[in-house]
């Protein structure tokens, strides 16, 4: 945007984000100051960052992508020169954007349908509704006797049930495969978070040890002077 920048980044280490933003800030400030013959700081304050889960990530990508359109700077999101929309639409990396990291987390239409079908097919609502329909269907055909459209042994009903099972089973498998993928991505994210937290804790422990050593050195120096 003209007065601010939104970035979705995946730092490789705990210190990587701060170092990258600091270096980008210094280079951009030097460039603008040299061009405009200014001096001093360019930005009002330090950058703000927040860790995002999967749902927050998708919402953030959508919001950032549509910001230029909502600000009426362009007609289409992919027309904004500094946007990652083109990479995400093409599904190919462009040197800065790794498109698959976002695209693998976006629900497609077929996946949403599969999740809803699997969710409804595994609920008590479906079981009770299906049981009610079966009882009513068989009862009507038994009462009608010879004039029934599907008399005993209910061949037409068996055909419908077979068709339903043939359609429902692959859809449920699709939903299960998608859930496995989501669990894998979530496990990888948890592992990265735990690894970075461990690294940060180790860094803090190292700093505390250094601080303790310095305090001991100061105490020794004071004892030497007092003695």
Is residue 149 classed as helix, strand or coil in its secondary structure? Answer: coil
pLDDT one digit per residue (tens) for the chain, 227 residues: 777 888 888 777 767 878 888 888 888 888 888 888 888 777 767 777 887 877 788 888 888 888 888 888 888 888 888 888 888 888 787 777 877 777 777 777 777 787 787 888 778 888 899 899 999 988 988 888 888 888 888 888 889 889 888 888 888 888 787 778 778 877 877 787 787 778 778 888 888 888 988 888 888 888 888 77
Domain positions in the chain are 16-103, 109-226
Burial letters 100-127, b for 16+ CB under 10 A, else e? eebeebeeeeeeeebbebbeebeeeeee
The residues, any chain, with a CB within 8 Å of residue 14's CB and separated by 6 or more, are 196, 199, 200, 203
């Amino acid at each position: 945007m003209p007065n601010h920048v939104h970035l979705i980044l995946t730092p490789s280490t705990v210190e990587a984000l701060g170092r990258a933003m600091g270096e980008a800030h210094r280079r951009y400030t030097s460039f603008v100051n040299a061009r405009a013959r200014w001096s001093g700081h360019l930005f009002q304050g330090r950058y703000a960052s927040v860790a995002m889960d999967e749902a927050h990530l998708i919402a953030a990508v959508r919001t950032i992508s549509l910001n230029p359109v909502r600000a009426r700077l362009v007609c289409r999101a992919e027309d904004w020169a500094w946007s990652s929309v083109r990479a995400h639409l093409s599904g190919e990396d462009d040197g800065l954007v790794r498109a698959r990291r976002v695209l693998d987390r976006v629900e497609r239409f077929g996946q949403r349908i599969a999740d809803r079908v699997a969710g409804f097919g595994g609920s008590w609502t479906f079981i009770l509704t299906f049981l009610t329909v079966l009882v009513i269907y068989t009862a009507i055909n038994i009462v009608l006797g010879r004039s029934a459209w599907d008399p005993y042994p209910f061949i037409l009903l068996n055909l419908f049930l077979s068709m339903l099972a043939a359609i429902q089973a692959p859809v449920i498998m699709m939903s299960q495969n998608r859930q496995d993928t989501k669990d894998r991505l979530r496990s990888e994210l948890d592992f990265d978070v735990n690894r970075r937290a461990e690294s940060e804790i180790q860094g803090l422990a190292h700093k505390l040890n250094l601080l303790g050593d310095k305090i001991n050195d100061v105490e020794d120096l004071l004892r030497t002077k007092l003695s």
